[in-house]
Amino acid sequence: MIHTVLTAVTDQLNEFMRNELGQAEDMVVMNSLVDLRGDVSMLIENRVCLFLMRVEEEKVAKSGGFQSHVGSPPPMHMNLYLVFAAHFPDPNYKEALHFISLVIEFFQGKSVFDKFNTPGLSANIDRLIFEFMNQDIQEMNNMWSLIGAKYLPSVVYKVRMLTFSQSMVREEVPSIVRPAKRPHKAADVLRAGGAAALSALGRRLEEKARERGMDNADEADSGDGTPAT
């Protein structure tokens, strides 16, 4: 369900920016800010990167008296912390500030997401409320140290709230796409090509056998005809 929230936010924000800027290009990407080596991802250059920073349980909802469920555990109510970071290398720092301003403007006009104003929202979500998070210098330092990157112009929003329960509608997540391996063993060739591969291999072997036979015949014809003793 978390992935559908971030996808819906990305789509809505891109649509807002396309209308504001009069361009067809998507400027917001949902992606990790840094790769496994700690380098800033090339996918977010000159883009606004949206990523999940933190997930926390909503304690107020948990302490309420409405979560009693006989025979099943009570639902969990979760809040998300989303970061919007603008990565526009020099000399485009001014553009970074421009796009962060657009992010703030977007959520100022649309701080509540529901199934009526956000068609792509999960069927398990009734409503999401986006709240701007203030951070002091120490909190910002801790966050960027945890991310493992240099500071970028950014804002953080708290999303309240997602409810997880056993009665949730299961959503399909696209399977992880891995590059196909090139067959290199006999067993792999059999699996990859089947009967067609065997047939082609047989034809090649026959052609090579005929070629060797013709070469042997030519060598015999070019001899002096003296029988071997």
Q: Give the residue, 188 or 94, on which the prediction is more confident.
A: 94
pLDDT for the residue numbered 199: 65
pLDDT for the residue numbered 221: 59
- CA–CA separation, 165 and 160 (whole Å): 16
Q: For 137-167, what is each residue's pLDDT tens digit? A: 999 999 999 999 999 999 999 999 788 876 5
Listed range (60-69, 153-162, 193-202) with the worst mean pLDDT: 60-69
Q: Is a pLDDT exceeding 50 seen at residue 186?
A: no
Give the up-direction half-sphere exposure of residue 143: CA atoms within 13 A in the CB hemisphere. Answer: 24
- CA–CA separation, 159 and 127 (whole Å): 10
> For residue 96, which of 144, 171, 152 has the smallest C-alpha distance?
152
Percent of the chain with pLDDT over 90: 47
Cβ neighbourhood burial of 138 (10 Å; 0-12, 13-18, 19+): exposed
pTM for the predicted model, two decimal places? 0.69
R_g of the chain, CA atoms, integer Å: 31
Domain ranges of the chain: 2-63+74-164, 182-217
- Which CATH class name applies to 2-63+74-164? alpha beta
Q: Tokens in use for 134?
A: 């203030």
